[in-house]
Structure 1
Amino acid sequence: MKKIANLILVSALGGAITLGSYKLFIEDDQSDFFTENPSGKNVVLPVSNTNTIYGTNVDFTEAAEKTIHAVVHVKNVAVFKGPRSIWDYNPYGSNGGRALQGAGSGVIITPDGYIVTNNHVIKGASEIEVTLNNNKTFKAEVIGSDPASDIALIKINPESELDYIPFGNSDNTKIGEWVLAVGNPFNLKSTVTAGIISAKARDLNMQDNSPQSFIQTDAAINPGNSGGALVNINGELIGINTAISSPSGSYIGYAFAIPSNNARKIVEDIIEYGDVQKGILGIRGRSIDNAVSKELDLETSQGVIVAMVTPGSGAEKSGIKELDIIKKIDDIQIKKFADLTGYINSKRPGDKVKVILLRQGREKTVEVELTKLETYQIAALGLEVSNISSEELKSFKAPYGVRINRTLAPDLPSEDLIGGIISEINNIPVKSINDVEDIMESRSRSNPIVVTYYNIRGEKQRMIWR
């Protein structure tokens, strides 16, 4: 009997110790996660209990070793064949000379010497020099360029095969993914900086009113790195570094790269066709945000709402209508207009895309065949124009003309001009971009330019450029 009493006493004492320990060590800890509110109910907040060790085990050395020898220094040199100042007229001086116009980086993309760089790096060059990471220097020729996307393709003729960087799929990149920015500034040779992808499909709203789609990174990029490579940890090219967003022009945490899918498509077009084959969906639209959603009483706050469908375009033939909301193209989510332009710019005329849209709240899927965009930049007017269909001319009640795609100068009234139709230049009928080119090349440079055009409301007007 005495043993039973002792056993009961020990059990009670153990229970008391257990309960006290719970009160002291466990119940107090719960107070961090359960709080009283006025209703008297406990509020439970989700808490992660995983024992994650923060940091990174990513090894950048392999990606760096694969890429640094494939990024080169590109020097834009202007060659002067005559005296440029009074100081050149002396018995010991030269009647010519060379002057550095600009410099940047470039990316070798084939073993036989094709190099991608920025158009602004080689713009206006009469001579281009490329210096490899081993200090060898070559003369380069410009194969082609696309000023709108700031991509240029140049070529050198090496004695042997070169290291190169293979293209990766920029559509597969993810926000938060590690990347390396590889450049080759003139006085530093190859440089490598690391960061992450901060955002995708960034539209910088540049002055040419042509929406673009950039990869944003916090990897340090400075002016000498323009035209260099943005690579993933596998050493694959996912972007061409092109822009820095800062008041000083130097890196302060924001840098941008042209997605590799867009750059690769431009390069392939230049090699195969001699120019860039631009496919268009055939719409004008705008990104949906909270303000637009409320204004139009929409059920979504993301996507692209169609403002106008180009007559005769693939969009019209597929049945896309005004006020349709584009949510997805193929496997790409369309949250804003830059998502749409970024993906379409990686396609060619004749390619077919699957467009998922909302119409009056109902989802609809259509297949659209992209049509060709043929353009001509009228430098003297600061305008880019393209050919248009007869159906679109009828909608403007214009007998002939070319469409104004975008303005190239910041002081032009973009809202009044873009989308309008130019029907005459200097009283000469314009029926195609070839007519525009002929008129502009044969005109007298000293005379003003008189343009007859129809604005987007179909009103006929005249403007004079002096």
Structure 2
Amino acid sequence: MNRIKQAFKDRLWLGVIIVGLFAGLIGGGIALGINNLVQHHEEVTSTRVPAGSNKSGGTKVNKNKADLNGEASQAYKSVQGAVVSVINKQKVQQSSGTLGIFGYGSSNGSNNDSSSDNKLETASEGSGVIYKKSGNSAYVVTNNHVVKGSNALQVILSNGKKVNADLVGADSATDLAVLKINAANVKTVASFGNSNSIVPGQDVLAIGSPMGSEYANTVTKGIISAKDRTLKAGTDGTLTSVIQTDAAINSGNSGGPLINMAGQVIGINSMKLASDTQGSSVEGIGFAIPSNEVVTIINQLIKNGKITRPSLGISMVDLSNVTSDQQQSVLKLPTSVSKGVVIMDVNNGSVADTAGLKKYDVITKLGDTQVTDAGSLKAALYKYKVGQSAKVTYYRDGQQHTATLHLTKSADTTSTDDSQQDNN
């Protein structure tokens, strides 16, 4: 009897437990369902576009809290009036004959009777900056490649007025040129700062006419990326020291100023890297001619109309262009010598001739500068003035020699030779 009662109690409790668990599951499910319904309703309500509209608007423009007279703005304002666009005009041949199957010809069938005239058209545009005003004249510095080949030059002032310009002088080695204009409408003249005092990371502004005078007085901001980069400048491949900046420099900016935050010109924008390197586009790498170099050159151009530099009186080729076999058999160079320039001809009575240099001598050093190619030789030579002396190191028949160059001869470096065989 007791066993029966105990068994009945155990079944009763088991039933209670089962009923409790079942009720809990049902209750939890109901609660979860209700919670999901609530969340879904909230999501629908929060994402649904409200009915009606605010017909009164109510949005307003607030007061500009930005500093409109910051350091960069002040620097730009102080120089902006001195920045100009430079227009290079060249002659375009135009024929007045009739258009035939093979081009223009005369109406009477003769090949010699067609008349033609020359018309000046804009060949290219660049930038420049007015740096000096003297009496009725004002002077503009720009790049040599901006004015090269021109038959006439014009300058567009910051106020939009277009005036004629005369070329005072140009220097291909440094890619600089000076123009003269009437000073009647010139109100602002830029000043130069010491480019030796700049430091990487320093804020700078580039001002000019990127893509032409339509975008005149465009200003871009960046920093000095490097103070002293060595690149081939101008049209004759002479190595020169330039300032590297990430301020945007585009076609048409050439000749415009690179300024510091005090509004001083510390460089003249000259070039940028624009080609693809291994499939990667090059951005943010522009170069400017340092102001200290600029001042030295433009002062000479104003005084003499050209730059006179020492000349060795030789023609030369880079040693790297000579085959290894010829370096051994003809030049008889030791294997340790792999860079330099080979003299191909020596002018009678020249500086090189007086010093005893001969054909097939290989110059490896001038003064304290290692000579690796024609560009580095020119860069080293151009550090000297006419009348000074320099020590040259060279190889002849496998033996190293030295000689003293008395730099009594000069050359006008505005003319260039673009052939592989260089002259100096």
Shorter-chain TM range is: 0.5 to 0.7
**C-alpha RMSD over aligned residues:** 5.1
Partner of 1:314: 351
SS in 2 for 1:224: coil
SS in 2 for 1:164: coil
Q: Residues 327, 278 of structure 1: CA spacing in aligned structure 2 closer, same or farther, 3 A cutoff?
A: closer
SS in 1 for 2:378: helix
Once the two structures are superposed, the pairs formed by residues 137-286 of structure 1 within 5 Å of their partners are 137-146=162-171, 150-159=175-184, 162-166=188-192, 168=194, 172=196, 176=200, 178=202, 180=204, 182-185=206-209, 186=213, 187-195=215-223, 196-197=225-226, 200-203=229-232, 210-213=237-240, 215=242, 217-219=244-246, 220-231=248-259, 237=265, 239-247=267-275, 252-258=283-289, 260=291, 263-282=294-313, 284=316, 286=318
User: Quick one: distance in 2 between partners of 1:66 and 1:370?
Assistant: 44
TM-score calculated relative to the size of structure 1: 0.50
SS in 2 for 1:272: helix
Q: Residues 361, 375 of structure 1: CA spacing in aligned structure 2 closer, same or farther, 3 A cutoff?
A: closer
Q: Structure 1 vs Structure 2: percent identity of aligned residues?
A: 24
Q: Residues 209, 138 of structure 1: CA spacing in aligned structure 2 closer, same or farther, 3 A cutoff?
A: closer
Q: Residues 300, 238 of structure 1: CA spacing in aligned structure 2 closer, same or farther, 3 A cutoff?
A: farther
SS in 2 for 1:342: helix
How far does residue 326 in structure 1 lie from its aligned partner after superposition? 0.9
AA of the residue aligned to 1:180: V
How far does residue 338 in structure 1 lie from its aligned partner after superposition? 3.3
SS in 2 for 1:223: coil
If asked which structure has higher relative contact order (CA below 8 Å, sep 6+), I would say 2
**Conserved in 2, the CA contact under 8 Å of 1:110 and 1:162?**
no
CA distances 1:116-156 after superposition (whole Å, capped 9, x unpaired)? 11234334555544334455553322223345654332112
Q: Residues 365, 200 of structure 1: CA spacing in aligned structure 2 closer, same or farther, 3 A cutoff?
A: farther
Of 365, 373, 378, the match for 1:341: 378
SS in 2 for 1:227: coil
Count of paired positions: 308
SS in 2 for 1:253: coil
Of 365, 371, 374, the match for 2:409: 371
AA of the residue aligned to 1:314: V
Partner of 1:27: none
AA of the residue aligned to 2:256: G
Q: Are residues 1:130 and 2:166 paired?
A: no
Q: Residues 177, 326 of structure 1: CA spacing in aligned structure 2 closer, same or farther, 3 A cutoff?
A: farther
**Conserved in 2, the CA contact under 8 Å of 1:309 and 1:315?**
no
**Conserved in 2, the CA contact under 8 Å of 1:175 and 1:199?**
no
Once the two structures are superposed, the pairs formed by residues 27-176 of structure 1 within 5 Å of their partners are 67-76=79-88, 100-112=122-134, 113-123=138-148, 125=150, 128-135=153-160, 137-146=162-171, 150-159=175-184, 162-166=188-192, 168=194, 172=196, 176=200
User: Quick one: distance in 2 between partners of 1:262 and 1:158?
Assistant: 25
Partner of 1:394: none
User: Quick one: distance in 1 between partners of 2:77 and 2:372?
Assistant: 37
Q: Residues 106, 286 of structure 1: CA spacing in aligned structure 2 closer, same or farther, 3 A cutoff?
A: same
Q: Residues 262, 347 of structure 1: CA spacing in aligned structure 2 closer, same or farther, 3 A cutoff?
A: farther
**Conserved in 1, the CA contact under 8 Å of 2:190 and 2:264?**
no
How far does residue 273 in structure 1 lie from its aligned partner after superposition? 2.8
**Conserved in 2, the CA contact under 8 Å of 1:167 and 1:264?**
no
User: Quick one: distance in 1 between partners of 2:220 and 2:289?
Assistant: 18
Note the residue ranges of structure 2 that are not aligned, 5 or more in a row.
1-70, 99-117
AA of the residue aligned to 2:252: G
CA distances 1:359-392 after superposition (whole Å, capped 9, x unpaired)? 7998968464252225897xxxxxx6xxxxxxxx
User: Quick one: distance in 2 between partners of 1:174 and 1:69?
Assistant: 24
Q: Residues 238, 317 of structure 1: CA spacing in aligned structure 2 closer, same or farther, 3 A cutoff?
A: farther
